[in-house]
Structure formats: structure tokens, C-alpha cells
Amino acid sequence: LSSDTERTLVAVKPDGVQRRLIGEVIKRFEQRGFRLVGLKMLQASDKLLAQHYVSLQRKPFYSSLLYYMTSGPIVAMVWEGHNVVRSSRMLVGDTDPAEAAPGTIRGDFSVHISRNVIHASDSVEGAEREISLWFHRSELIDWEGCDHKNIYH
């Protein structure tokens, strides 16, 4: 993989879908210059979310987190580009909206940690694990934008 093909999982959570923020989220990732290589709307199962949030199983908020994440459709995406994992976390902002800077997605569109609109993988290894949970390989599309030479070199 060349340095501009790092990938990350981004998901508009049920509150973000209900609040019609799908387009806003896609707009921010597109205008930054990242490439969308996978996209779907789904009603996530408890099984998928248990795998996705395996590291949080012992947290006191775990059952309410799963209840919320299964309360309605989620829009899952895979974005590709140079340093996209770290850049996505910066676009998304702090986990707690009270700490998220204005200009970030959470800082602009959320108030409470239990309804923070969006997910983005927190490491390259985490991203690989999460992408394989949420997407089949056949659902990811390799394509090169005609603007590639303007965004890279």
C-alpha cells in the first residue's frame, strides 16, 4: 500500500442519520480531499456492535451504547488517503463533545458524549479490523480520482 492509500472506517451513528447529517459528514471528508471507497446504510446487529466495541464490554455505559447504536440506521463508509486515520479523528473531534473543538464534526453538531454523531477508527490497526467487520472486500471500490495529481503530487 502506498502512503496515500491508508483507509479508515467512518460511520454516521443513528443520531447523525436522524438529524440529517449524512451529507454534512460526507461533504467534510470529500472537500478535504479524501476518497470514498465504500458506503452503505445498515441496521447494525448486536453481534456486529459487540465485535466493533469489544474493548468497551466492561464499561458501565456499554449496554446503553449498544441500545443507541441499534436504535436506527447507520451509514458506514470507508475513506482512503494519506494519513486518513489521524486526519479523520481530527475532523471528528474529541469523543466528548464538551471537549471537541468548534470546527470539528462533534464540536459543531453534538452536546453529549452518548450522542456524538459519528465514529472514526482510532488507529491504522483498528481501522483494518473495523473495515473487515463492517465491509466485505467486494464492497470496497478501488478508483483514482481525476484530481489525484492536484491533491498529492
CB of 109 to ligand DGI, least distance (A): 13
Per annotation, catalytic residue among 52, 82, 112, 119:
119
* Closest C-alpha among 80, 103, 115 to residue 4: 80
- Minimum separation from the CB atom of position 7 to ligand DGI (A): 16
Site for ligand DGI in 122-151 (CB under 6 A): 122
Task: Give me the least distance between CB of 59 and ligand DGI, in Å please.
Answer: 7
Of 35, 71, 73, the C-alpha closest to 151 is 35
Binding-site member from 7, 35, 52, 119 for ligand DGI (CB under 6 A)? 119
The β-bridge relationship of strands 74-80 and 35-42 is antiparallel
Considering the rule CB under 6 A, would residue 63 count as an interface residue with ligand DGI? no
Is the CB of 33 or the CB of 62 nearer to ligand DGI? 62
The secondary structure of 96-131 as a DSSP string is STTTSPBTBHHHHH--SGGG--EEE-SSHHHHHHHH
Using alpha carbons, select from 61, 22, 62, 17 the residue that is nearest to residue 43: 17
Q: How far apart are CA 42 and CA 150, in angstroms?
A: 34
Record the cell numbers describing residue 135, joined without a space: 465491509
Q: Is 95 in the site for ligand DGI (CB under 6 A)?
A: yes
148 is annotated as an active-site residue: no
Interacting residues toward ligand DGI by CB under 6 A? 56, 61, 65, 95, 113-114, 116, 119, 122
Residues tagged active-site: 119
